[in-house]
Every structure is written in structure tokens, then in C-alpha cells.
Structure 1
């Protein structure tokens, strides 16, 4: 009869598979929100925000349609910057990705400025419309109409961008960035050489262990080739030896 506890599995062995880190997740949600925000801001910049009727007493009254790109010239550039933020988000991680999130949140606040100005009445719509339409001095503004659909579209885009920025600012370290095939080959080879050297060091430490489950996973073929290109020999058991 075996001794008590002889067949009892080690709690560490039971916790090992469960404690293994899961696959890195890509920030698909923030990317989708940024794409939606960019689309909404771009659409808002193409629609008419303010329609103004002016007259100068000499000719027939004229109607001026001011779209979002004219009323708030930063709408289209903001949409392009949000699209660029998607690429920056996938190319970074850690604190750099959090910085991208903070920048996106600030851009979202800027995008909401024209909506707030029109809703609160601080934009002086008639005066601004006359200035943007470049009316002559003798002309006067007879009537001004605000189209609220594009205004609210811009607010929806700003809110989507703000949520995306907040998610990026709180993104955990387990999220991944773009595939390593887009990395600079010089840095990739240097990293491969460091991994090979670290594998050798860990191999020396594990030579005294009796549990084969503690062995590290083998390096991929790509890492081995990058290490060879960097001048590191993956087959050298004593990389520190010099002739």
C-alpha cells in the first residue's frame, strides 16, 4: 500500500495549464469604433449644416449652403487622423498604446466642440455664416436654418472616438500588436539572438532538474534563422566560449 499522499498530484501541476497565459487578443473593438467615428465625421463634413438666405437690396435674395467642412474645417482632418490612429493602435502596445488612447480621447473632445457651440448658442450662427459665406458689406442676413442631422452625426462620431480612446487607455498588456513580419529585420534578428542566448542559459539551469515538464518550448524555425543571420549559433551549447 502506498504511503499517504504518494499519489496526490502536486497542486502546481494542476494549476499549470489553467495558469498558462491565453492567446493575445487584438483590439478589434476600439478599431471598429474608430472606423465608425471616422465615417461619421466624414459624412457630417459632407452634409449641409447651415443654410443662409441673404440679400443686398439690389439683386434677388441668395441662398448659401454651408456644409460641415466649411462650418468646422477640422472635421475632415479629424476623420483622417482617427483612421491613422487605427494603424498606430495595431503597431503599438503597452504604454504607447495608452498614449494613443489619450490622444484619441482628446481629438474626440475637439470633435464635439461645434455641436456644443450650436446647441448652446455660443457660435452666433448668423454672424459666423455671413463671415464664412464671405458676404459683401452691403448684404444682410435674412434667414438662417440649422440642419441638425449632420450636427448630431458629428456628436455620435465624437462619442464613438471617445469610447475607443478610453478603451485603449485601459487596454491590458495581453493585447497584441501587428504581426512580427512587419518589424524591422535588424531589430528582429537582434531579438532572436537574445532569445537564443536566453534559451542556452535556461538550458543550463534546467539540466539539474528532473521534471521534464519544466523544459521551455523549442524556438521556432524563423527565430533560429534570424539568430543565424545575427551571428548567433543556436546549436552552440557554450555561447560564451571564445577560442
Structure 2
């Protein structure tokens, strides 16, 4: 779950950094440097971060097959984040004054966040039955349920006019 939190934070942080830079003609101002953040250039970053954050609550609240489905969805979301990180990344052709280091850090942070989400999803798939789920600590074990059913049998015998202790 820590991996999901860190992955969500990395994806959100990558969405705030510059991802694209080019010179554009701006009419009277001439040629100006135009930059776009990760959220502008790759609109999927913020929704993927929100999905990873929601995955934390889902991993805590679910168990069994529902946790496996969620783990699979998180693996796909992490792979999508990795694809967004490498799609459109170029190594040359940036104009003078472009924040090249920030662009590389943004793409790298998105890839790192995607890998963290993939790893957390795989761990959720593998440990779906072993990890405790929310409220599992308070559910009664089977032995206690059978004792409660025994109590119901005693009351049912009394209701029917029979002595529940006669056969013991």
C-alpha cells in the first residue's frame, strides 16, 4: 500500500513538471518559448494518480477475488502510466532555454510511479487471500458461529415444549 501511495504521489508530481517545450510564433511578440506541464501534455497522469490513490482504499476494503480484480486493474494502470511516460519523450531538438532537465525528471518520475503501481498491483494479486481485509478482525470464526447455532437449537426445543437437556 505504501507503493501505491508513493506511485500516486510520483504520478501527481510528474503532472506538475514541464513535459514539452518548443518555440512558437506569437504574433507581435515574435517567437516565444512554449512549455506544457505533464497534466497538459499527457492528460492521463492525474486520473492515473487518483486511481492509484483509490487503489489503496480498495486493497484495504476488499479481499479474495475482488482484490485480485483490483490488483489486475492496478497493474494495467501502472503499465499505462509507464507508456505515458515514454510516449513522446525525445532526446534532442529542444529550443534554447527549454527546461530539458525538468522534462526528463518529469518523464522519469512518471515512469517510476508507474512501476510502483505495477509492483503494488502484482503484490495485491499474489497476496489477495493472505492479506487481512477491513473488518475481518471483527468477524466471528466458524467455531463461535456453531456455538451460537447450538443456542438457537436450545431455544427452539424449549419453544416446541421439549426439554433441551434431557438427551445430555
Tell me the TM-score range normalised by the shorter chain.
Answer: 0.7 to 0.9
SS in 1 for 2:29: coil
Could you tell me which residue of structure 2 aligns to residue 198 of structure 1? 146
Question: Structure 1 stretches of 5 or more lacking a match?
Answer: 1-30, 127-141, 204-233
RMSD: 3.2
Equivalent of 2:32, from 54, 62, 65?
A: 62
* Partner Cα separation in structure 2 for residue 175 and residue 113 of structure 1: 30
* 1:154 is aligned to 2:110: yes
For each residue in 1:141-172, what CA deviation from the matched residue of structure 2 results, as whole angstroms up to 9, or x when unmatched?
x9485511110000000000000000101115
* Partner Cα separation in structure 2 for residue 48 and residue 100 of structure 1: 31
Residue pair 1:197, 1:239 contacting (<8 A) in 2 also: no
Using CA pairs under 8 Å that are at least 6 residues apart, name the structure with larger relative contact order, 1 or 2.
Answer: 2
Instruction: Decide which structure has the larger Cα Rg and report it.
Output: 1
**Does 76-85 or 34-43 show the bigger shift?**
76-85
* More helix, by proportion: 2
Residue pair 1:54, 1:143 contacting (<8 A) in 2 also: no
Residue pair 1:34, 1:160 contacting (<8 A) in 2 also: yes
* 1:177 is aligned to 2:133: yes
Could you tell me which residue of structure 2 aligns to residue 12 of structure 1? none
Equivalent of 2:85, from 106, 115, 120?
A: 115
* 1:93 is aligned to 2:63: yes
* Partner Cα separation in structure 1 for residue 85 and residue 148 of structure 2: 61
Output the TM-score relative to the length of structure 2. Answer: 0.77
* Partner Cα separation in structure 2 for residue 101 and residue 172 of structure 1: 8
Could you tell me which residue of structure 2 aligns to residue 129 of structure 1? none
Output the TM-score relative to the length of structure 1. Answer: 0.55
Per-residue deviation, 1:57? 6.3
Question: Structure 2 stretches of 5 or more lacking a match?
Answer: 161-168
Equivalent of 1:238, from 154, 164, 167?
A: 154
